[in-house]
């Protein structure tokens, strides 16, 4: 077998692997929306998370989220990782239900939710297309985005005690920008073959989409909510 033939074979194998990871990631990402919606529906219907406000809510969210993420990465090479990921998305749906309940309490609440969903889908489509045309490496950007995420987390903790709508709006705008960029970085890493595990890839994309949706919903509730 000649060098050129070997090179072409290796290229085709690499392309096949990238497409397989991307395909499996998209399928698992779509599947993850089911437990998210189920968790959100249960949370809104039962008021389960209504009492989880302030420090208690923050502790439950951080402990649950980081616990799930650690376990998912630990078992990402087996079916257990998929089950944990779906459990995580159910948990995130439950945590989202408190904000959803507030927004749905507005006269135009259902419209705001659909607008946030449409906006999140639009961001995903734009970033997915950009990830296929941008040639430069974006790993350097990821380091700055991680720093921005730490700032967001600290700001969110501060606002638990401050309770400022203006500060929440500012954090939401910042979160939309940061996680939209994270979405682009993670999608490009998958497209370029830098991410070879579809469970890890799905977790990264889900976190960005969740935060974009939540931030859009918060902004719409602050500025567009209509009292009955």
Residue 3: the pLDDT is 45
In order of 5, 92, 113, 117, 160, the CA distances from 123 in angstroms are 40, 20, 15, 10, 28
Q: From CA 145, how far away is CA 178, in angstroms rounded? A: 6
- Binning pLDDT at 50, 70 and 90, where does residue 88 land? very high
Domain limits, the chain: 3-224
pLDDT of residue 164: 83
Q: How far apart are CA 122 and CA 73, in angstroms?
A: 28
Cα 136 from chain centre: 24
The mean per-residue pLDDT over the stretch 164-181 comes to: 92
Across the range 52-63, mean pLDDT stands at: 79
Residue 169's pLDDT band (boundaries 50, 70, 90)? very high
pLDDT score for 185: 93
What pLDDT is stored for residue 2 in this prediction?
Answer: 54
Mean pLDDT over 6-31 rounds to 73
Which residues 6+ apart lie within 8 Å of 18 measured at CB? Answer: 190, 191, 192, 193
Q: How would residue 12 be classed by pLDDT, with cut points 50, 70 and 90?
A: very low
For residue 36, what are the contacts with CB-CB under 8 A and spacing of at least 6?
89, 90, 92, 93, 96, 210
**Is 197's pLDDT higher than 90?**
yes
Residue given tokens 């949706």 in the structure block: 213
Percent of the chain scoring above 70 in pLDDT: 91
pLDDT of residue 138: 80
State pTM to two decimals.
0.90
Residue 157 has pLDDT above 60, yes or no: yes
Rounded Cα distance between 20 and 106, Å, is 43
Residue 16: which pLDDT band, with cuts at 50, 70 and 90?
A: low
Range scoring the smallest mean pLDDT among 40-44, 49-53, 94-98: 49-53
Determine the Cα–Cα distance for residues 213 and 119; give it in Å rounded to an integer.
8
Per-residue pLDDT, averaged over 67-77, amounts to 95
* Higher-pLDDT residue of 83, 194: 83
Q: Tell whether the model's pLDDT for residue 226 goes beyond 80.
A: no
Q: Between 41 and 15, whose confidence is greater?
A: 41
The per-residue b/e assignment along 59-78, b for 16 or more CB within 10 angstroms, e otherwise, is: eebeebbeebeebbeeebee
Where residue 7 falls among pLDDT bands split at 50, 70, 90? very low
Residue 4 confidence class, pLDDT cut points 50, 70, 90? low
In the structure encoding, which two tokens stand for residue 89, read together? Answer: 């998305």
Residue 57 neighbours by CB under 8 Å, 6+ apart: 49, 98, 160
């Amino acid at each position: 077998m000649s060098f050129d033939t070997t090179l072409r074979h290796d290229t085709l194998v690499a392309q096949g692997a990238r497409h397989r990871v991307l395909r499996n990631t998209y399928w698992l990402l779509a599947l993850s929306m089911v437990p998210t919606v189920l968790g959100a529906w249960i949370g809104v219907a039962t008021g389960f998370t209504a009492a989880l406000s302030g420090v208690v809510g923050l502790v439950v969210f951080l402990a649950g989220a980081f616990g799930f993420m650690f376990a998912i990465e630990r078992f990402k090479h087996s079916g257990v990782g998929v089950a944990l990921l779906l459990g995580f998305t159910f948990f995130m749906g439950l945590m989202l239900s408190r904000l959803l309940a507030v927004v749905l309490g507005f006269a135009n609440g259902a419209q705001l939710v659909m607008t946030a969903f449409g906006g999140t889908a639009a961001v995903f489509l734009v970033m997915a297309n950009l990830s296929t045309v941008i040639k430069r490496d974006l790993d350097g950007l990821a380091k700055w985005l991680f720093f921005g995420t730490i700032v967001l987390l600290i700001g969110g903790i501060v606002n638990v005690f401050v309770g400022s709508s203006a500060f929440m709006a500012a954090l939401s705008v910042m979160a939309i920008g940061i996680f939209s960029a994270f979405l682009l970085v993670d999608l490009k890493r998958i497209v370029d073959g830098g991410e070879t595990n579809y469970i890890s890839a799905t977790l990264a994309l889900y976190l960005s989409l969740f935060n974009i949706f939540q931030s859009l919903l918060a902004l719409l509730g602050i500025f567009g909510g209509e009292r009955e």
